Structure 1
Amino acid sequence: MLYRIIPWLSVFCCMAVCCSAPAEEAPAESAISLSLDRWKISTDSENIDLELSFLEETDWKAAYFDESNASLQLVDSRGDASSKGECRYISRNDFSFNEKTGEISLSWEGWLPAEDTEWVELKGEIPFFMYRTAVLSEKVKVKLVDGFSVPLTLKGAGMDGGDVEVQLSVGRLGAWCGREESSQVSFSLVSPVRVGLLDLETQTKDGTPLPVADYGGSGIDPGGKHGWCRYLELGDRKEEELDISVRYATRMKKIVVPVDIRFGLFGMGEKQEGSTKEN
């Protein structure tokens, strides 16, 4: 069972607050604002999902935010509070048409606001790592064979300005629709520390660029290593090898963005069985 929510107020934060980091302090102008885009509440599974968008206010860009140290909690108008929510980065696309530059997904399980609550507040902090300078790594030759792997040095990619050694690996999907191999290729980067990975530049032997998709994923494996991936659609091309460079952020600064958003629930009441409807 799910309640459709109608907002009466959405107050969005916030100028970023600088905090100490291994690198020099970020200047105050590296600011970010957040706003609430949409949410859904499922009473069957006692689950709440929120989606925030963020806007970079200056020429400082967000390389990533620190999900593990984001501290966000929901509190309803009766004072009941949730536990810490799960926070993950959705995308880093160009949303210039609607004045946003990225999105954040939040979820809570096992908690719902009281039925007679008037509003819910999202409160807490999100640490962002900002940059103004992005560089390209050296090119490496990559064979488009499942399991192929090659080491790569990202010079100056560390928060302390040091070099970071990463591993670039290739993945190929299995046979489908009668093909021996899928035309989609995945490129994965694994690093011992978190770095500001932004994009891949891929070229054929004759220098023809093949743009990778602007979606992928990132995460931390059980061993503590950081992973990041992007996809390339070859179509009918029969490439066996590509030259690949990694675009990444350098001289990153850490800032902490306070979150204080209130949204109203007086519009809830239309119940729907067996479906999920988003605001």
Structure 2
Amino acid sequence: MHAIEAKGLVKTYPGPGKTRIRALDGLTLSVARGTIFAVVGPNGAGKTTTVKILTTLATPDEGTATVEGIDVRTSPAQARRVIGVVAQRSGADPSATGRENLVLQGHLYGMSTGAAKARAAELLERFRLTDAASRFVRTYSGGMQRRLDVALGLMHRPAVLFLDEPTTGLDPESRAAMWEEITALAAVDQVTVLLTTHYLDEADRLAGRLAIVDRGRVVAEGDPEELKRDLETDSLDEVYLRYAGRRYSDATRVTEVAGR
């Protein structure tokens, strides 16, 4: 059994008049347990919609999706117990301290105060935030805040962690540190990681397998080295341009609502 399986996902949104914007058009992918899987593609390709469905924040019009064997549509509450989510925008309360944010997250997952404080202390040390634990989050640097975001996603020890653009806006040093943490999650903790990213070097460096998504479909999937070898190149940029380099047009995604 795979940690994540999506089959034939279709998702549309209201468009102009009687049209629909087709965000996903039969997307299918599977992610093995304890691995890092990257999803890359142009803006509007369907990456965020896919993550929303897999994390129970959106419902597909068609298709199925499971996380750790749990159907995200029929058992969303159960699915949320086994996943952690780090969105593009921080979910931390800026007017609370780092430690307070983590303890509150633990309470939301039913942890006792003692257990939540112990887990918070563990994560603060792991993400090098112990010295800043009593500071308000609004005083944190971008790198510190992003590390706290990941710690929040790991508070309840999820089996699967979703990272949506985890290093956007970070300086090179903070980005490299985040790469180390993400690598350790799979290698040491055996957490399955699905990340979306616009940085091809990030996908190349971190992912054991990646999917290139365009127009709501997976247009290429495989080990980064295999994909490069198939096109006789040493650059993942060339692979990306081959499969999804054309200009993306919203007009191609607008379809008449026939029979829906």
TM exceeding 0.5:
no
Structure 1 or 2: larger strand share? 1
TM-score by length of 2: 0.30
TM-score, normalised to structure 1, is 0.29
Name which one, 1 or 2, has greater alpha-carbon Rg: 1
More helix by share: 2
